[in-house]
Structure 1
């Protein structure tokens, strides 16, 4: 028996003197006992409170016996799709099958089903008719109420209804899962557990709370979904959130309790100090290991939550807008443990979270009263109450750099350039350039059109340009030549072909093709996904243009990589559609050259460039 890990077989469980586990955790990911994996945190937390947990990772959903490894648990089944929504894990935005699953042994695809929490839960219910089933993780969390589903292109019910489960522990589930466990342990019927923050439950009788549009209304009227989403978005805060209710007709109601309170720093430290093995289970060694461990094994989570408020991101619905942090002592202790690992080469890959340089709540008010319901901290401009001080993060990075055996500390989870701009001190940017970048700094301006950026919830393009100048000066002070590599997004709601061409021209002027281009992916429970489905901005109720067809999305994406010969026809079609024939030609400002142009025309154009170059070279020689 490998005592570093939780039991994965009945024999391992019985070797510990346990004949019936309190919980059985079923997960769509391979078993990785590392705090970057939600399954590891929840199971280790329960274990620390005296509950026994058996782990079934990636059961064969075609066989009922695959979820019966430990028999019936005393308190209940815990079910998660894993660290990603199973549909995002399986399919690209073009709805093509991905070739690799980083959370499976050897990167093999096909070891989990589509809509994993629903399939696993129904599989359990076939055998265990009355055993409590609690759903958790990102898939269940973001599908907790009725939602638009990109892959079926329509509304879907709360996953609680389709899965036949009893409860959802949504968001970061440490508080709620312990309260659920305690209630079940005290003998509460699962149907009576309706009072825990951070949970969603089913009921036949409507409780007190705010009634959202019914599921029937959502299916019939897209405006109803935009209205519902706005209300949900305004109730994602643990301090001000209301009970939300969805009517499912004769099937009853789905009720969302307000979010659980954020973890205190002491609680965060306790969670990350649990006895994780910090790697994948050895049973995967012969199957090719787990690819996802490579990047995160020597990365440190220093915070969670994000007040950035990007509309295409689900963090507001899952982790919330209040930043929670670990103490320096907790982080330093983890870093020192790396030095003793035989495969540690001296490089800490990341120190951060959703946004690396967020090391405290946006303002003092949030610590006791929560976030503002109808205002963002950074968008459209930084709030006057925003705390932009980077001193705490700087001090932490300095301590990490000074650990014996640590050669370099990288920051790869991303910084907010508008937040850095708002800091009146240049100290963080100076030390970022000097110590924490290796040639290239990746940031996410996403677009250059202010209209598109508005729909993204991102700052105006001028803010990014300001950051580039500041970073260039910081590089000069450090004596280094380093570059900013932008993440860019195509096909976001609000982006017409005209705006897409504008972005392509910006790429041209950068002088290099971006390595990573993200075509907007309408994942569950984001503001942008709501816009995509409804054609309405839920913040204002106004219409918004949405590039929806695969053809238009392909054209917008191709424009960002216009030099790729495979993209030629798409780029040409996009330019003609945008009325930008001027960008097809031999001038240096053109994106593509005309195909099939006669040799005479090519000769007439090409020598001009050569002549200019030769004259320039003559001047150089004379000078």
Structure 2
């Protein structure tokens, strides 16, 4: 069917005098189901709507926003696959040098706070056209939220964008319901009932299914009020049990969050991922070198959605939800066959997974009828006794794919939840994973080794990771394979003191682990850990939490994990003196000779070496 039009000439070539929707995005146009723009536009197209794409418009005036003329039903606006502020700035607020979602990786193709800027320009272009915002930036800023870059609490993005409707979470159902309502003649201001949306209201009818959050002015001035508000939101994020949430503003407006949409079931997911995507970027970007982000997903398969892992630093709970749903085995295999026919396919399927590769279904049967537990995690602090632990279907999918004609190797790179693997009484999954689906290195995410810090992260205890490491090593030895682990580590997470960072450094030193890179905790909207960072409270208990906020301490905690690097020597010394741990000088302050010797020892014993690469999924 070809790409959707990005110019007025392409609209005319399709015989369109006017599109129904203009979808504005901060990314370059990639027609691949790893990108929300592609999914939403193809879903609407499948329902008979005409959608034009306006990628990375010039936001300095309204002119580019008038490219297609007045859309019949509305503007759909997102910032792209990543929050625009995260896209632009590192945790140290340094400007990033590249943008993987822009042609040629060039920066500067989107504004800061893109949803707000685009929405206001669209409103300038056509004052009366409905504006619907969505995507990760809108979804995680749907109510009053702490903003790391302003270091303050900002209003709901719905108000600052002057939009009519905000779609949060995975928006396929919501956007179709909105389109049908608009198409039937209902004005945007009157579409206030759709699950998975936030809307503005001047009056509120309170009932037993509605909860009033603390007023915005209260959460902007009181960290305790902010924490209480976040806790209510955190516990009202399941489609079965969630209530309608209301946040009041001083100008008399209310922002209303309707309960979430139910997750798409297997057949619905299959339908979404079998739409006629071109599976690459628009050909107009070829002269710029294409869009780098396609390389990570071009030959990968999304097999599931949602995550019941519950990591405190991850926004999946707020965006995709805790109820996992998987595509059918048949649909995934069908996509595998499609990949083998794509230009550039060399026999390698790079990934088969989702937010967590080895989660395929709801955590337990109870979730399907009663919803997720509001006061209990599925895996933290220990796997729940009701947890369904089953790798069989995922294994069968991997077997089908690796035995497919034209496929040389199928990798699993989207992350394996190792505590879920350890809870499985059978070693069948881990053994086949090691034998067939690891490219020499398996990525896992212990994140830290201090049990205190791990408790704030909602991650399993250190001993679980150590047990997994031993089992992984043993199985590889039995298979005659030399394969290693790459652990993801986070420095300066809420709850981590200098002593906790030293404990992690000691662990790395004692085991000969040399991380390549470390991710500093990044306070992004919508996460439990970000609420802890801002309020210095655990919103679920209201207990105090230590937070390393100064850039100086952040650098010290990061340097400790990289204690082996000569350039960090003085920072490590400062950290040890500050913590009164001069006894560790001999262990952590390596001279050039000792460092080289350690590197040699590490090469001789690679099965114990850890490497750490940047974890873009968490940013």
TM superposition score normalised by structure 1: 0.94
Q: 2:475 matched to 1:474?
A: yes
- Is the CA contact 1:306–1:354 (under 8 Å) kept in the aligned structure 2? yes
Contact 1:508 1:591 in 2 (8 A): no
Q: Which of 44, 47, 57 is 1:46 aligned to?
A: 44
Structure 1 residue 476: deviation in Å? Answer: 2.2
Confirm or deny: 8 A CA contact 1:303 1:325 kept in the other structure.
yes
Matches within 5 A, 1:276-355: 276-355=277-356
Q: Is the 8 A contact 1:269 1:327 kept in 2?
A: yes
Cα distance per residue 1:565-618 (max 9 Å; x no partner):
222221111111111112223xxx33335x9xxxxxx9xx99xx9xxx9xxxxx
Matching residue of 2:150: 152
Partner of 1:484: 485
Whether the aligned pair in 2 keeps the contact of 1:328 and 1:396 (CA below 8 Å) is yes
Matches within 5 A, 1:594-605: none
Question: What is the aligned partner in structure 2 of residue 544 from structure 1?
Answer: 545
Aligned to 1:124: 122
What residue number does 2:609 align with? none
Question: After the TM superposition, which of the residue ranges 436-445 and 88-97 deviates more from structure 2?
Answer: 436-445
State how far apart, in whole Å, the 1-side matches of 2:318 and 2:513 are: 36
Per the TM alignment, residue 67 of structure 1 is displaced from its structure 2 partner at its CA by: 1.0
Distance 2:148 2:277 in 1: 36
Contact preservation (8 Å) 2:302, 2:353? yes
Preserved contact between residue 430 and residue 477 of structure 1 (Cα < 8 Å):
no
Q: 2:440 maps to which residue?
A: 439
Q: State the alpha-carbon separation in 2 of the partners of residues 434 and 109 from structure 1.
A: 40
Q: Which moved more, 1:121-130 or 1:227-236?
A: 121-130
Aligned residues: CA RMSD: 1.5
CA distance in 1: counterparts of 2:106 and 2:588, whole angstroms: 42
**Partner Cα separation in structure 2 for residue 333 and residue 434 of structure 1:** 24
CA-CA distance at 1:127 after TM superposition? 2.0
Q: Matched residues in 2 for 1:181 and 1:148: separation? A: 31
Aligned residue runs from structure 1 range 360-509, under 5 A? 360-509=361-510
Distance between the aligned counterparts of 1:404 and 1:230, measured in 2? Answer: 50
Partner of 1:12: 10
Aligned to 2:75: 77
Q: Which runs of 5+ in 2 are unaligned?
A: 602-619
Distance in 2 (alpha carbons) for counterparts of 1:316 and 1:91: 23
Structure 1 residue 125: Cα displacement: 1.0
Q: Which residue of 1 aligns with 2:99?
A: 101
Q: 1:21 aligns with which of 19, 22, 30?
A: 19
Task: Indicate if the aligned counterparts of 2:35 and 2:81 stay in contact, CA closer than 8 A.
Answer: yes
Three-state SS of the structure 2 residue aligned to 1:112 is coil
Q: Is the 8 A contact 1:121 1:133 kept in 2?
A: yes
Partner of 2:275: 274
Match of 1:218 in 2: 219
1:507 and 1:345 map into 2 onto residues whose CA distance is 37
Q: Secondary structure at the match of 2:588?
A: coil
Task: Name which of 181, 184, 191 aligns with 1:183.
Answer: 181
Query: Structure 1: how far apart are the matches of 2:391 and 2:516?
Result: 30
CA distance in 2, matches of 1:396, 1:367: 23
Select the structure of larger CA radius of gyration.
1
Residue 610 of structure 2 corresponds to none
Preserved CA contact (<8 Å) 1:29 1:81: yes
| Structure 2 contact 24–78 (Cα < 8 Å) conserved | yes
Displacement of 1:373 in angstroms is 1.0
1:34 to 32, 35, 40: 32
Q: Give the secondary structure class of the aligned counterpart of 2:368.
A: helix
In 2: Cα distance, 1:250 partner to 1:566 partner: 53
Task: Tell me how far apart the structure 2 counterparts of residues 544 and 238 of structure 1 sit (CA, whole Å).
Answer: 30
* Whole-angstrom distance in 1 between the partners of 2:510 and 2:305: 36
Stretches of structure 1 lacking an aligned partner (at least 5 in a row): 596-601, 614-623
SS of the equivalent of 2:186 reads coil
- Give CA-to-partner distance per residue, 1:278-336, whole Å, 9 cap, x none: 00000000012100001100010000100000000000000000001111111111111
Q: Structure 2 CA distance, aligned partners of 1:161 and 1:242?
A: 22
Q: Structure 2: how far apart are the matches of 1:211 and 1:243? A: 9
Secondary structure of 1:438's aligned partner: coil
Secondary structure of the corresponding residue to residue 90 of structure 2: coil
- Alignment correspondent of 1:620: none
The aligned residue for residue 172 of structure 2 is 174
Please state whether the residue corresponding to 2:352 is helix, strand or coil: strand
Matched residue SS, 1:201: strand
C-alpha deviations, 1:4-35, integer Å up to 9, x for none? 10011111112211111110000000000000
2:253 corresponds to which residue?
Answer: 252
SS of 1:240's partner is: coil
Encode CA deviations 1:44-81: one digit per residue, 9 max, x unaligned: 00000000001000001112111111111111000000
Describe the SS at the equivalent of 2:442: strand
The answer to whether the Cα contact below 8 Å between 1:196 and 1:257 also exists between their aligned partners in 2 is: yes
Deviation of the 1:251 alpha carbon: 4.1
Task: Verify the 8 A CA contact 1:582 1:590 in the aligned structure 2.
Answer: no
Q: Contact 2:246 / 2:256 at 8 angstroms: preserved in 1?
A: yes
Q: Note the alpha carbon deviations across 1:132-177, whole angstroms, 9 max, x for none.
A: 0000100000000000000000100000010000110100000100
Are the aligned partners of 1:572 and 1:592 in contact in 2 as well (CA < 8 Å)?
A: no
Q: How does 1:125-144 map to 2 (within 5 A)?
A: 125-144=123-142
- Whether the 8 Å CA contact 2:569–2:589 is kept in 1: the answer is no
Q: Distance in 2 between matches of 1:590 and 1:519?
A: 20
* In the alignment, structure 1 residue 516 sits paired with structure 2 residue 517: yes
* Inter-partner Cα distance in structure 1 for 2:379 and 2:425: 15
TM-score by length of 2: 0.94
What's the counterpart of residue 598 of structure 1? none
- How many Å separate the matches in 1 of 2:333 and 2:49? 29
C-alpha contact 1:494 1:545 (8 A) present in aligned 2? yes
1:566-577 alignment runs, 5 A limit: 566-577=567-578
Alignment partners' CA distance in 2, 1:357 and 1:378: 14
**Larger mean Cα displacement after TM superposition, 248-257 or 37-46:** 248-257
Instruction: Report the Cα offset of residue 516 of structure 1.
Output: 2.9
